[in-house]
Amino acid sequence: MSELFDAVDALVASRSPLPPAEERKRLRVAHGLTLDEVATALKVRRATVSGWESVKKPTEPRGPEREAYARLLRQLAELYPAAPASEQPVTPPPARFTGAAPDPTETRTPPTGQALEATAGATTQNTQPPAPVAAAPAAASRPARTARTPSASRPPGAKKAAPASTPAGVDPRFENGPLAVVDVADGKTVAYCTGGLILDVPAKSIPALVDWTLKDARLGQPKLSGPGKDADPLLVLTEAALERYGLPVTLTEEERLAGRLPESHKVVKQLARAEWKLTKRGFGPWARIYRPATGSERACVQLCIPSWHALDTRHWGKAGQLPPAELARVLGVYASRVMTPRGSAAVTGLELMTALHPPTRASEADETGKRHSEHNPGSLGKNPVDPAPCEAPDGHPVLKDLPRFHVRGPAEKLFEEAYDWARPMTDDECTMRHLVGIDVNMAFAAGANGLTVGLGAPTHVKNPTFDPKLPGSWLVDLSHVDLSRVKIGKEWAQLDADLLPSPFTPKGERPEGPAWYATPTVAYAVELGYEVRPTEAWVRRENGRYLDGWYNRLRDAYLATMADLGVHADMEPADFLAAMDSYKDRDPELALVVSAIKATVKGGLGKLRERPRGEGWRPGEPWRALSRPTWRPDIRAAVISRTRINLHRKIVKHAAFTGQYPIAILSDCVVYAAAGPSPLDFLPYRDGKPLPGGFKLGINPGLVKHEGTQPLLWGEEVRERFNAPELNLARYIKDGTVTDADNGE
């Protein structure tokens, strides 16, 4: 009989009701879940979950997956109920971001004291507010509440959120989110957390603040990978908080150059007396305060001090000037989608690689039942490796035997960099009316996607047979590759080589002889239909797709944030261009997150080849970055090589199909002369479909967006003014501003 009952239960479960696809996605996004996380939990593919949420053609789960998926959605619906269709909610559920400031008149203390629930913000001013952008843990129920005196800063329409239990799936250790912005309001120290939650902070000193954070604040973030480590809590100190804790609001010139407070500062001494330690970078804009780990328990808190320029304006814009609640929202969205910031965007980009591929893992238990630390397959390991001599930058210890003022040429030095190329316009191009720039979205991230890179040390080989699947550096002569006749797929095409940059050099010049190239560059020469015969190589036989997880997380973060700004991955070309126009104005705070995500990509890759930063360094001596296993100039070179080749491939296919050639390229921006001001005036769309393998408008990494348009006469005037017929107009196409300083005047 029980078997019959089980069969009936399974039959009922196989028809479990599900909400519409839009609601499925809303619930997932509201809880901060990625497609990968849901797919892993349900043991299906990521594309399967994406299909369940597809608005146009949703697929339906079957069998046991349907019941599990329905159970997930029911639990999320209880946490994030949909608003009645007849009204616009003023107060969203406590576990969702809304973009509005939390109510500064309400606070909550951790379990050791009195508590208030999370507060929600006022309605946004947008007529169509963006969808929720990230999930934050809901406030846990507390036995008592206290209210502070209402102040004039209370957002209009803000209300207290109803008490709620910690949502299922939220680690109770980190129920208050990954970070908090510490401020002083009405004479009281408070911490603004993600999701509108505000905590009372009883600490009167920096050592006490660290203790409170680790014992009571419940801040932090779960590890991103099985063998990894949980993210340490991050505290952002406002200027008022700095004054409260005896820290300077700004650093002196000497302190700024040193990047830290002196050891004699009273707060540094307070930490030493309390037996807290600082990392080698000391008490600076991104200070890390810790005690040595005991077993698996970590005791570490990171500080971020915006007024000490912790948040670089080139990447974070005006985030450092935001009010505490808004700053908590911006950093919280970034933390939930990328990771808790560990320093600059570049540092965080590098730390994300390690967090996704930790160098070690626990072994299987031995005969005594003990586990040991062992190498984690697919990682770079915990020990640095020396580069090949051709991969090493000038001054590296492996080059210390070179003559002092020796200048290495292409046959001695790998030089894979992004494009900086331009040419004079033809007579036909001068009859056009516009110069239109298009820009590849997340170009370097797209270059990293699916790329096989070396994981270990290089092996030197003489007269090797080229293998496009083997990462490494190859000494080969590519000067015979003729761009006037190239192979596109299985067909040969005739092109005007004088109007194309060479794919083998950053300046677009044709190689003159043997030179060192990364694997993707040599593989492209073969793809174009030409034979290659390397005379020497440094190859890495231990290899893998190390950057795939890194790319996937940053891609998902970028696409989710752009979707919240009204730019979606499945838009028609004209709709996409319209959505991209002034997208930053729809939610300026989320636009800051987009900027930071982009900087995380470029900065993280740049850190793979970090150069000396003063510190009394002399050529031939090691510098600090060389001690990291993630100091890997060969990986950086491979990504840049692939990114440049990807762009050249699109340019060649576009030229073969349309007869149009670029007049300037700068990194991932390409400028064409066109009859109209829009990319649609020269991109060959037919029946709404782009040229296969060419440029395609869209928000996904590797697709292109409109960078800017200027009159053709503007380009001629600028080049004439500086007497530079090959001035790179891609550098200025965005807003048309060119100054004398830009050209060395």
Q: CATH number, domain at 34?
A: 1.10.260
Among 44-53, 502-511, 627-636, where is mean pLDDT lowest? 44-53
Residue 271 lies in a domain: yes
Higher pLDDT, 524 or 82: 524
Residue 41: which domain range?
2-79
Average pLDDT, the chain: 86
In this structure, are 197 and 312 located in the same domain?
yes
Which of these three, 312, 340, 368, is where a domain ends?
340
pLDDT value at position 367?
A: 80
* Residue 134 domain flag: no
Residue 277 lies in a domain: yes
Distance CA 666, CA 522 (A): 22
Which residue has better confidence, 16 or 439? Answer: 439
The answer on 229 and 334 residing in a single domain is: yes
Q: Write down the pLDDT at residue 743.
A: 52
Most confident of 5-19, 133-147, 466-480: 466-480
Report the pLDDT averaged over residues 551-566: 97
Q: pLDDT: is 311 or 161 the higher one?
A: 311
Do residues 187 and 327 share a domain?
yes
Same structural domain, 319 and 194: yes
In a domain, 282, yes or no: yes
Quote the Cα angle for 524-517-614, to 5°: 135
Sign of CA dihedral 486, 488, 491, 497: negative
- What does the pLDDT read at residue 739? 76
* 72 and 185 part of one domain: no
Q: 10 Å Cβ neighbour count for 491?
A: 8
pLDDT at 7 over 60: no
For residue 553, being part of any structural domain is answered with no
Cβ neighbours of residue 433 under 8 Å, at least 6 residues apart? 674, 675, 676, 711, 712
* Domain end call among 340, 355, 379: 340
Burial of 254 (0-12, 13-18, 19+ CB in 10 A): exposed
Q: Is 668 a domain residue?
A: no
178, 319: one domain: yes
Residues 328 and 186 in one domain: yes
- What 8-state DSSP symbol labels residue 189? E
Please check whether residue 236 lies inside any domain of the structure.
yes
Let me know if residue 319 belongs to a domain.
Answer: yes
pLDDT at 674 over 80: yes
Average pLDDT in the 152-181 region? Answer: 59
Number of domains the chain contains: 2
How many percent of the chain have pLDDT more than 70?
85
Alpha carbon 616 to its chain's center: 32
- The pLDDT tens digits of the residues spanning 27-42 come to 988 887 888 788 888 8
pLDDT at 29: 82
Q: What's the pLDDT tens digit per position in 190-203? A: 999 999 999 999 99
Of 320, 340, 360, which marks where a domain is finished?
340
Same domain, 192 and 298: yes
What is the model's pTM? 0.79
Instruction: Report the pLDDT value the prediction gives residue 10, as an integer from 0 to 100.
Output: 54
Bridge pairing between strands 179-185 and 234-237:
parallel
86 exposure class (CB count in 10 Å sphere: 0-12, 13-18, 19+): exposed
* Poorest-pLDDT segment among 282-296, 474-488, 672-686: 282-296
